[in-house]
Amino acid sequence: MPFSFSHLSLFLTQFRHGSTQLQKRDATIMTSSSEGEILQVSQVIRERWKIKQKIGGGGFGEIYEAVDTQNHNERVAVKVESSKAAKQVLKMEVAVLRRLQGKKHACKFYGCGRNDKFNYLVMSLQGKNLADLRREEHEILMNCLYSRELSSARAI
């Protein structure tokens, strides 16, 4: 899976805050109402990227799946943050992603921009986010532990 600066920043955030806070944050993301969302389904950005669905979000903005209407409806990720946000991080992500272009494990950069409501970054759509991967890894680990305990109990 290609590297994304957003994956790294999410990982570092998760590492610093621990799993309890992550579970609370993830629950908040999954239950957010469409009223507070920066973009809406079917909205088109710069007459090119049509929003299909929200796929994530957090303290620094939101991530949407979209299609590139000028490139055979290729699926892309659109990261947005409010232009009014106290801490804006997309500018740094754009700079890092641009420097990583052409590298083996980097996401493809398609474009970026801003308007009076939001700043955005368009990049290749990757697989699952780190929170989901971490949750799956935890489930696999727990299943292995239960299996060992069951085997030990049977042996006794």
pLDDT at res. 80: 96
Domain boundaries, the chain: 5-126
Binned at pLDDT 50, 70 and 90, residue 154 comes out as confident
- For residue 20, give Cα distances in angstroms to 14, 60, 85, 94: 10, 19, 25, 30
- For residue 2, give Cα distances in angstroms to 5, 15, 52, 63: 10, 20, 22, 17
Residue numbers belonging to the annotated binding site = 79
pLDDT in tens, 110-142: 999 999 999 999 999 987 766 676 777 777 777
The CATH number of 5-126 is 3.30.200.20
Residue numbers belonging to the annotated binding site for ATP = 79
Classify residue 128 by its DSSP letter: S
Lowest-pLDDT choice from 19-33, 44-58, 85-99, 116-130: 19-33
Question: Residue 107 above 70 pLDDT?
Answer: yes
Lowest-pLDDT choice from 24-28, 46-50, 80-84, 121-125: 24-28
List the beta strands (DSSP E) in 1-90.
Answer: 44-45, 49-58, 61-68, 74-82
3-state DSSP assignment of residue 48: coil
Q: Print burial letters for 97-116: b (CB count within 10 Å at least 16), e (below 16).
A: beebeeeeebbebbbbeeee
Measured distance CA(89)–CA(63) in Å, rounded: 13
